[in-house]
Structure 1
Amino acid sequence: MNIFDQKLKAKGHWPLKAKKISILTVNMGYKCDMGCPYCYADLLADRTEEMSLSTVNKVLNILKKNSAIKTLYILGGAPELNPHIKYLLKSAADMGREVMLNSNLAAYSRPGMGDFPAFLAENKIKILSYLSCYTEPRYTDTEAGYTEEGLDKQRGLGTYRKIISALGKLNEAGYGKEGAALTLDIVFHPASASEEICIETIEKNYRNRLKEMHAVTFSHLLAMNTFPTGLLKKTISEDEIKTYTKALEGKFNPCLVEDLMCRHSISVAHDEKLYHCDYWQLLGSAVNNGNASIGRIDGFDCEMPGNREIATSPLFCFLCTAGAGCSDIEHGESKIDAGCTDTKGSADQKKDEKCCSH
């Protein structure tokens, strides 16, 4: 029994079991146009794994047969690089599903992508984007994401300007404006897991600076922890990893367990295997070892995996259960755990303090 399971057991939540699936997470493949040297997922431009049209149609068939699935959450890699992305987005939207796209935004500057923001708006796709870098000591958390030098150093020369350009085009299409139905959320990575941050203050700084410097706006700012694996693991020491995970462990909040994303979703990989979450997918550990029945998309049944026992790991499970968790990317009908950090003074923190008597 790992330390995360021990925490669950002490609070009466072990073993961790899934509930009815309402969110289908789909990873379109591992190809990415960034090549970040600190990528926790080893996503690079030379990766060729991508979801085929046949598999996309199987995903859509799952949605057709299972009305209980309200939300389709799409990620990658850079999912925009998959040739079938528009087909999947539009088809799911036409079924009346809430569709969320995890995007690095840089892909919007590629040839043939000029109409993509308008396409997203037409189909009312919700966007979760990234404007962040792993902070160097000379940058504060409030500067890290909108510092061109810092972001380009991590993600590649010219990336910052591509992202800002994409934000502007999305604003023109109706995204990210106050009171607008088209949601454009931005994620940043805090510099440390051991310190509390005030997300409201950082969001205000992001909003003011981006508006002043580039006349762009967004809907919400989310603070998201990442976990030390892939290329990121190669850049930090074992002692740093232990310190990081220990800090998250110390912020464990049992109030967040009930609504963890893994309990209400299943993750589909490009190769049709099913995973408890996208983190397990990165480690190659599929449900039922990827065997037929509940381990692959062909054997998917919305009810069958509903009472499955969820595998856990202290490597990343504490990301979604630390402090206030920021565990809800909650817009419309979806509630998606994001592995976020403490949000000192936030509404989520106050909610957790009230709900939890442990």
Structure 2
Amino acid sequence: MSAIVQNMQSTTFPAIRRGRLETLQVNVGYVCNLTCFHCHVNAGPNRREKMDRATADLVLDYLRGAGIRTLDLTGGAPELNPQFHYLVEQARGMGVHVMDRCNLTVLEQPGQGDLAAFLAAHQVEVVASLPCYTPDNVDAQRGDGVFEQSLAGLRQLNAMGYGQPGSELVLNLVYNPLGPDLPPPQAQLEADYKAHLAREYGIVFNGLFAITNMPIHRFAKQLRKSGQYEAYMTLLKDAYRAENLESVMCRTLLSVDWQGYVYDCDFNQMLRLPLGAGTQQRTHLRDLIHRDLEGAPITVADHCYGCTAGQGSSCGGAVT
């Protein structure tokens, strides 16, 4: 029996079912210009997984047929995928709201000089990772010089109108703890970020999402190396709040990988946990065309406690 299957069978996390599908979250590949130690994707410059045009077209067909109103593009660095511009243009042409999960430094990469203008022209919501507002903490988690590159990316976006008062261009930042702790209260953290970034750097943004670090892949490896894995899992379980179950992202989101296979969330995708609504080990998006998933079961395991601990955690930050 694999460790993953054993984890699914032994978990005490409660059974949950899908609500109405609202968001298609598409991981276009694991290529990234950064190698962050907390990354649940194990993304980096040496990864080769990239979505092709045929799979991108299938994603668009599914969006069109299912009437989904939000396309959430993630990676890796999704902007480095050859299909990124195509997906954005086609989805926006259908009136679908598009979100780009951006690491900010990609805006400073060679060949990305027009990226900020492209995002603005298509009114893409930018969800940008910035795990702290001080350079030492950011560089410790993401690499030397990343904080300054992130500021440069934010300045590009602000110059395009992102995050500015009265602008329709939405810029949200993402915080995650530096270590094995739960995020602090999101509202207070957002206020602290806004005050510090405006005062020190003249940077503005709309909102902040506080996200819990998932105990999988690189972060789990760090926890085990430091002997903190069991303590962190205990922290997540002890902080479980049943009221967060109603708002966990997997109830209204479907995760698609770079090959078109589907999962209940991006974390399950990385663990290769089969879709709860599926009848086989791997379910492809083409198998779900014209199929209603509402009420279907969701595959759960112990890492799911990360989404229900404390104020809860989702791709949109705290849930309560």
Residue 100 (structure 1) aligned with residue 99 (structure 2) = yes
Written as runs of structure 1 = structure 2, the 5 A alignment for 1:175-194 is 175-191=162-178
Written as runs of structure 1 = structure 2, the 5 A alignment for 1:84-163 is 84-132=83-131, 145-163=132-150
Q: CA deviation digits over 1:271-310, x for unaligned, max 9?
A: 1111111101101223279877981011123534333211
Aligned to 1:62: 62
CA distance in 2 between counterparts of 1:119 and 1:276 reads 30
Q: CA deviation digits over 1:157-202, x for unaligned, max 9?
A: 2211111111111111111123432111111113566667233332
Paired residue type of 2:45: A
- SS state of the match for residue 144, structure 2? coil
Aligned to 2:208: 221
- SS state of the match for residue 73, structure 2? strand
Q: 1:196 to 1:265 in 2, by over 3 A?
A: closer
Question: In the alignment, which of 298, 302, 311 is matched to residue 314 of structure 1?
Answer: 302
- SS state of the match for residue 267, structure 1? strand
Paired residue type of 1:149: D
- SS state of the match for residue 237, structure 1? helix
Aligned to 1:256: 244
CA distance in 1 between counterparts of 2:124 and 2:170 reads 8
CA distance in 1 between counterparts of 2:95 and 2:183 reads 39
Q: CA deviation digits over 1:98-128, x for unaligned, max 9?
A: 1111110111111221121111111111111
Residue 166 (structure 1) aligned with residue 150 (structure 2) = no
Deviation at 1:80? Answer: 0.7
- SS state of the match for residue 211, structure 1? helix
Aligned to 1:136: none
Q: CA deviation digits over 1:180-230, x for unaligned, max 9?
A: 321111111135666672333322222122122221111112211111222
Q: Mind listing any 5+ residue stretches in structure 2 that lack a counterpart? A: 1-8
Give the conservation status (yes or no) of the 8 Å contact 1:273–1:290: no
- SS state of the match for residue 223, structure 2? coil
Residue 79 (structure 1) aligned with residue 72 (structure 2) = no
The aligned length equals 311
Give the conservation status (yes or no) of the 8 Å contact 1:104–1:163: yes
CA distance in 2 between counterparts of 1:289 and 1:246 reads 29
CA distance in 2 between counterparts of 1:111 and 1:85 reads 16
Q: 1:19 to 1:293 in 2, by over 3 A?
A: farther
Written as runs of structure 1 = structure 2, the 5 A alignment for 1:199-278 is 199-237=186-224, 239-278=227-266
Aligned to 2:4: none
Aligned to 2:26: 26
Aligned to 2:35: 35
Greater shift, 151-160 or 291-300, is seen at: 291-300
Give the conservation status (yes or no) of the 8 Å contact 2:182–2:310: no
Give the conservation status (yes or no) of the 8 Å contact 1:294–1:300: no
Greater shift, 281-290 or 265-274, is seen at: 281-290
Deviation at 1:151? Answer: 1.7
Give the conservation status (yes or no) of the 8 Å contact 1:290–1:296: no
Q: 1:288 to 1:218 in 2, by over 3 A?
A: closer
Q: CA deviation digits over 1:40-62, x for unaligned, max 9?
A: 32111100001011100110111
Q: CA deviation digits over 1:223-248, x for unaligned, max 9?
A: 11111222222222375122212222
CA distance in 2 between counterparts of 1:263 and 1:40 reads 20
Give the conservation status (yes or no) of the 8 Å contact 2:255–2:264: yes
The RMSD of aligned alpha carbons is: 2.4
Give the conservation status (yes or no) of the 8 Å contact 2:274–2:280: no
Aligned to 2:6: none
Deviation at 1:22? Answer: 1.6
Q: Mind listing any 5+ residue stretches in structure 1 that lack a counterpart? A: 9-14, 133-144, 330-337, 341-347, 350-358
Q: 1:326 to 1:274 in 2, by over 3 A?
A: closer
CA distance in 2 between counterparts of 1:104 and 1:194 reads 22
Q: CA deviation digits over 1:68-103, x for unaligned, max 9?
A: x11111100110110110110111111111111111
